[in-house]
Structure 1
Amino acid sequence: MAVTFEFVIEKGFHFAEAFGKRFGMPVTENRVYLPESLGDGYIQEIQLRQGLSLCMHRYILKEEFSLKRLESAGPSKMLTLRFDSRKVVWETGQQATHLFAPGCEAELGTGNFFTEIFFPAQQEIYFLVINVARELLVELLHLSVEEATLRNRLLTNPSFVVNVLMSGEMESTLKDFSSITLGSPFYLLRYQVKALELIYLLFAKITERVNEAEVAISRADADKLFKARSIILKDLSVAPQLIDLSKKIAMSPTKMKMLFRQIFGDSIYNYFQRARMNEAAKLLKNFSVSETGYRLGFTNMSHFSRLFEKYFKTKPKKFKDDL
């Protein structure tokens, strides 16, 4: 059973302190280390300026772990930008192969609804959360009159979330944080520059989407859509059936499809297939091509091979041989 840390984002909330209190670990200079029983690594909070802070998570877990953000009362004056670069690392001779795991994503939203992030054991976890005041974010983005819709959304929408896949540039920028040493000359400025770069990259990715009319998403609807995603990812051998999925989350199929695309930037089926291929890449470490395909619900190995090649630009047999 996974170790769980539950928290609520309220005024004055400090993640490192709350985590340290929950697990009985001291907090020194806004950094708290994981207890040895849970894993190896730390959580670090850094205040960059008024209205802008970041929280870094860097650890490898010995046990399964979940972070549950519980619903808070009312709208928040702060927005949360989360960059999750968790990866599976495979050592092969003198080389290390890094594969994005399901959950490798970036997200922008309010912090007042329920979400759960699940981390498996023995996986390199590196994710960063930027907390920024709504007014400050709008000021940093220098939004034009033509971007009034986005401006109003950032300033006044009481509850929303937008989720995108991590890009290579985001991953590279995220890595740069590890080269910054606390207390080194102008280290806070370096953190701030990198945080602003991540903000830029996230909004650049978001605005790549087709400019469709968006609808307001309530906290209850956001909870349902994240529940739908959890159901999809729970068993990647079975394609989601829209009618059954809509019943499980108590939402009409039409509304579910529209809001899922709005939050996650893709159709339910495409999202499932992408996660399925990521899982295939992981399974190929320990299983043959045919066994991997069967485990993921494929009965036609030629179809599995073509689909894998579409996502990874190489056939699964060569992918496995290269490992």
Structure 2
Amino acid sequence: MDVLHVLARLFGTVVKDRKLEIPEQFGKGYVTRYIFNEQIRMMIMNYELKENMVIDNPEVNAPRNMILFKFQHIFDETEKQPAVLITTTSMNMGPVIPIHTHTSTINIEVDSNYLSALFDQSEKSPVLQSLLENTQPLFFEQVIYPSLQEIVNEIVKTGVKDPFKMFFLRIKAEELVCRLLMELEKREEKHLYALNSRDIQTLYRIKEEMLEHLDTPPVINELAVAANMSPTKLKSLFKQIFGNSIFSYYQECRMKKAAFLLKEGSLSVSDVGYQLGFTNLSHFSRVFQEHIGMKPKQYSRS
């Protein structure tokens, strides 16, 4: 029995046309799953439940040769940045699955041997090579840029009907995976650390604390103390997971927050600059243009 049917039994309902509608007494939304073949499968989850749940993982003993691409915040109409988590199977196969009250994700799982066979072995970067070998616990986060979001929207809002729907969705899923691997291939790390859940939780805690204080530039030594890591290890793990240095990541998120505030329209350019810790508005304008592509005042009017 797969996860979808375990959920259906838990909610006292049935799966129809690969889709589980959440009964009203438990919440709202849906879960749908597509098993295209032995090499690739996809699950779309967009629901709100009245309480958190935990279920036994029916696939805990399945072969661990899959790579997971987990798309997050793709349905949210909030300031949260859509992102995809890319992990080797050994990071994900726990005995239980937490079912959170608010979930909006797309999970695509692909066989690492299938993916590896599609590439010229001599041309792969160290990051791509390590991921496709799938022999150690790895974890990456990649921001979803607009062209990737367009593909996601095609999957979620597809009007394609049978007999072409499965074919269409598989092609789109593989296109997403291809584009994400192209982004990972650009990463420059020569050596990758095998990760554990504690390191990942620590790095995410540090990242969230940093994002909660976008008006204050991060101080590496202070973050390292908070993480109980050496500054060198902290910087290396942060860049390995998020694909950017701590300060560059901070500055990028700072400018995305500025863009969000400017689009809301309730604050002036100077108010936004001061709120995000800039004392020199010319400097704010220059940094904003470097990241967003236009000056703040021009952006607020666009």
From the superposition, tell whether residues 29 and 129 of structure 1 become closer, same or farther in structure 2 (CA, over 3 Å): same
Matched, 1:86 2:74: yes
CA drift of 1:228 comes to 2.0
CA drift of 1:195 comes to 1.0
Instruction: Show structure 1 runs of 5+ residues with no match.
Output: 1-11, 90-99
Q: How many residues align?
A: 289
Mapping 1:1-323, distance limit 5 Å: 14=3, 16-17=4-5, 27-33=15-21, 41-58=29-46, 76-84=64-72, 86=74, 101-113=79-91, 127-139=105-117, 141-147=118-124, 150-151=128-129, 153-181=131-159, 183-210=161-188, 212-284=190-262, 285=264, 286-322=266-302
Secondary structure in 2 matching 1:130:
strand
Q: Which residue in 2 is equivalent to 1:94?
A: none
- Structure 1, residues 134-179: CA drift from partner, whole Å, max 9, x if none? 323323x334245495445423423101222223332222222135
TM-score, length basis structure 1: 0.73
CA drift of 1:298 comes to 2.3
- Structure 1, residues 104-149: CA drift from partner, whole Å, max 9, x if none? 22332125548xxxx9x9xxx964210123323323x334245495
Partner Cα separation in structure 2 for residue 229 and residue 133 of structure 1: 30
CA drift of 1:198 comes to 0.9
Partner Cα separation in structure 2 for residue 108 and residue 280 of structure 1: 28
- Between Structure 1 and Structure 2, the one with more strand by share is 1
Secondary structure in 1 matching 2:221:
helix
- Structure 1, residues 267-320: CA drift from partner, whole Å, max 9, x if none? 001101111111112222132222222322223322222222222222222222
302-311 vs 188-197, which moves further: 302-311
CA contact (8 A) 1:25 1:35 kept: yes
CA contact (8 A) 2:269 2:297 kept: yes
Partner Cα separation in structure 2 for residue 30 and residue 144 of structure 1: 37
Partner Cα separation in structure 2 for residue 269 and residue 240 of structure 1: 7
TM-score, length basis structure 2: 0.78
Partner Cα separation in structure 2 for residue 321 and residue 32 of structure 1: 43
CA contact (8 A) 1:260 1:268 kept: yes
Secondary structure in 2 matching 1:49:
coil
CA contact (8 A) 2:124 2:185 kept: no
CA contact (8 A) 1:75 1:159 kept: no
CA drift of 1:191 comes to 0.9
Letter in 1 for 2:234: M
CA contact (8 A) 1:37 1:62 kept: no
Partner Cα separation in structure 1 for residue 180 and residue 208 of structure 2: 23
- Structure 1, residues 61-95: CA drift from partner, whole Å, max 9, x if none? 799x9x9xx9x899933221123463776xxxxxx
Partner Cα separation in structure 2 for residue 40 and residue 287 of structure 1: 35
Q: CA RMSD in A?
A: 3.8
